Structure 1
């Protein structure tokens, strides 16, 4: 294979081709044993129309409810600037290079730092009402890098582990967290 062919292969393999769909299996991003209603699902009418949010879900959760890691990983980006007009968020990168996006967190509640490892199920923040939000809720999405050299984060479809198996999140679906795997 020529050098040019090798570069094209690496670019396609690393940057353009989507991550395999079987890697999109996540625990609900809240404490085990609880359940919350999905109020906006994939392609939601209100705000899930961009590449960054097309495959996001909004969970109706009370302000102050703990937010927990849907998978283990490393915190790669966050915002906790203290201005509730701007979404407070945490991005956790997983082993397969997908990124869990947790948005609208409560000001002052983020208890992790960039570079910190988090375990699946570990609670690291609280639900808030920050940024573009009509009330307290958790916005959760699974993102991956696309483009060369990894210019853009885009959302991807995913499924949740629940008591009854795995589900694709849908609007007005109750999401229950299994107590144990």
Structure 2
């Protein structure tokens, strides 16, 4: 969107403001002024939690639907996996992202009248609560999650840009950013 404006300030470029640059400028102004802004939590509204995990970190966004019909963020979470968590398989990392997010925003999400809708890009987690075969870690996590009223819904990774970006910050790992994509 901003490429025409970037091109104007290149070292060898001559300044030539055309309709293309004006359109880019207007588009940026609109994107900045209409972007969902942080909202205060309202206990009378349903909560939405978007989570994602990468190889080194997790990211999540807590949101609520506002009067304009759009989800507005209440808060963001981005943190590195610690110790043995780095070695967890994808399923467990994605589940840990949900657990850490629910615990981080416990003050808002514990014992909500409506279920918290948790969006994840890991389809198998939709059925995790119904599973009857657990290892010890899953049993412990199941107990932790029993304090929360939530439902897990699958959302393809292409639609999960916010938590995905938070889980792939380059300062979470000693991996160069271009090598973190998986």
Q: Fold match, TM over 0.5?
A: no
More strand as a share of residues? 1
With a CA cutoff of 8 Å and minimum separation of 6, indicate the structure with the bigger relative contact order.
1
Q: TM-score, normalised by structure 2?
A: 0.29
Structure showing greater radius of gyration is 2
- How does the TM-score come out when normalised to structure 1? 0.29
More helix by share: 2
